[in-house]
Every structure is written in structure tokens, then in C-alpha cells.
């Protein structure tokens, strides 16, 4: 998910910005901006983005049907 092609631009994970405080980003082009702000010189930096939390574990145990293939002609 970090390297998908269609990323919503945000200054929080732009290569031209640096995190100043929790609610501020220092941008080379625009100065101090909100992390949700973006401009047309946005350059995605995947190392600045935090991935979404992992999916929760399954609640029910696996059954034999979970491992079978339905091969009906």
C-alpha cells in the first residue's frame, strides 16, 4: 500500500517537507503548512508515510472448506 500509484497528495509525506510539530510541516516552497495541505510541487516520499494498521485476526478457526478448491466443470 505504501508504493501504490495513486497517492492522495499531502504535505505530511512530501519529500520537500519536514515535520515541525504534530500539526505543522515546514515546506521548502510554502513555509509552515498543515500536514493535510498540498501544492503542485508535491513529490511523494514513501519513507515518510505510515502504513495503515494490519487487519484484525480471524475470530473463527479455519475449516476444511477453507482449504478446498471447488472444481466443478
For the four alpha carbons of 8, 37, 27 and 22, in that order, the dihedral sign comes to negative
- Residue 24, CA atoms < 13 Å, CB-side half-sphere: 6
The SS3 of residue 31 is strand
The pLDDT score that the predictor gives to residue 10 is: 86
Q: Which stretch of DSSP H or E encloses residue 33? A: strand 31-33
Q: How many residues does the chain have?
A: 73
| pLDDT-derived band at 65, boundaries 50, 70, 90 | confident
Q: What's the average model confidence in pLDDT over 18-30?
A: 88
CA distances from 55 to 1, 7, 19, 50, 51 (A): 13, 20, 28, 15, 12
Amino acid at each position: 500500500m505504501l508504493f501504490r500509484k495513486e497517492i492522495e497528495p499531502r504535505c505530511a509525506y512530501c519529500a520537500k517537507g519536514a515535520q515541525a510539530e504534530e500539526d505543522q510541516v515546514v515546506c521548502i516552497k510554502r513555509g509552515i503548512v498543515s500536514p493535510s495541505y498540498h501544492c503542485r510541487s508535491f513529490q511523494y516520499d514513501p519513507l515518510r508515510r505510515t502504513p495503515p494498521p494490519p487487519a484484525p485476526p480471524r475470530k473463527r478457526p479455519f475449516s476444511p472448506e477453507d482449504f478446498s478448491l471447488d472444481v466443478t466443470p
